[in-house]
């Protein structure tokens, strides 16, 4: 496998605190997301918002969607109100990167404190009425959700004739 590492965002979170796997995956998603923001700088706005087959439909909306979903789900676990950003207010890479950083600053303390003791705590959220989720499954849902959507971005990048951001976890010293 290609281990071409990627620098990018760093964090004070270490895999030695809390649940190392959960923390490391959030660090991974945040680093990869920042690399996709940088990748977007070479792509025209028209291509970033062009409707594409699969996923949630466009490159920029996919990045908004993963930021929005993380903010809603992890915010809910952290006891914060659903921020409900509107895509039309964040339709540039710069604005979306700022939103991503704001949410990250807001959610990092919760992620840093994540402990397996929270695994079985339960939560209900307004966007899934009638369902009860455990904190553990929500944290893993958010992690897998972004990795899955980034896989879709990688196909669309190749359709544009561009090299996608590396999805490798190894080589990032996370």
Tokens of 162: 């561009």
Task: Tell which positions 95-154 bind its own copies, by CB under 8 A.
Answer: 116, 119, 127-128, 131, 133, 136-141, 143-145, 147-152, 154
Please give the structure tokens belonging to residue 129: 């009425």
* Distance of closest approach, residue 131 Cβ to its own copies, in angstroms: 6
Helices 20-40 and 93-113: angle between axes, nearest 10 degrees: 170
* Pair 154, 167: CB distance under 8 Å: yes
CB of 139 to its own copies, least distance (A): 8
Q: Which is nearer to its own copies, 101 or 154 (CB)?
A: 154
164 touches its own copies (CB under 8 A): yes
**Rounded Cα gap, residues 78 and 160, in angstroms:** 38
Taking the CA atoms of the chain, what radius of gyration do you get in angstroms? 16
89 is an interface residue for its own copies by CB under 8 A:
no
Under rule CB under 8 A, residue 158 binds its own copies: yes
Residue with token string 């879709």: 152
Question: Counting contacts by CB under 8 A, is residue 162 touching its own copies?
Answer: no
Candidates 21, 39, 80, 83: give the one binding its own copies (CB under 8 A). Answer: 21
Nearest distance in Å: CB 94, its own copies = 25
Shortest distance, CB of residue 102 to its own copies, whole angstroms? 21
- Assess 156 for contact with its own copies (CB under 8 A): yes
The Cα angle at residue 144 between residues 39 and 84, in degrees rounded to 5: 75
**Bridge partners (DSSP) listed for residue 122:** 134
The residues, ordered by sequence, that sit 6+ positions from 78 with a Cβ below 8 Å of its Cβ are 106, 107, 109, 110
List interacting residues with its own copies (CB under 8 A).
1, 3, 15, 19-22, 24-25, 28, 52-55, 69, 116, 119, 127-128, 131, 133, 136-141, 143-145, 147-152, 154-159, 164, 167-172, 174
């Amino acid at each position: 496998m290609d281990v071409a590492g990627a620098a990018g965002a760093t964090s004070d979170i270490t895999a030695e605190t809390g649940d190392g796997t959960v923390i490391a995956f959030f660090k991974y998603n945040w680093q990869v997301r920042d690399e996709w923001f940088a990748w977007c700088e070479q792509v025209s706005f028209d291509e970033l918002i062009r409707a594409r087959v699969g996923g949630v439909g466009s490159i920029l909306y996919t990045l908004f969607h993963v930021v929005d979903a993380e903010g809603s789900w992890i915010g809910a676990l952290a006891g914060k109100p659903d921020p409900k950003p509107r895509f039309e207010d964040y339709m540039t890479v710069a604005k979306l990167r700022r939103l991503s950083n704001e949410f990250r600053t807001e959610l990092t303390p919760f992620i840093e404190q994540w402990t397996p003791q929270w695994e079985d705590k339960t939560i209900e959220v307004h966007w899934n009425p009638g369902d009860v989720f455990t904190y553990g499954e929500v944290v893993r849902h958010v992690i897998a959700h972004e990795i899955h959507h980034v896989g879709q971005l990688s196909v669309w990048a190749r359709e544009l004739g561009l090299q996608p951001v590396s999805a490798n976890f190894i080589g990032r010293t996370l």
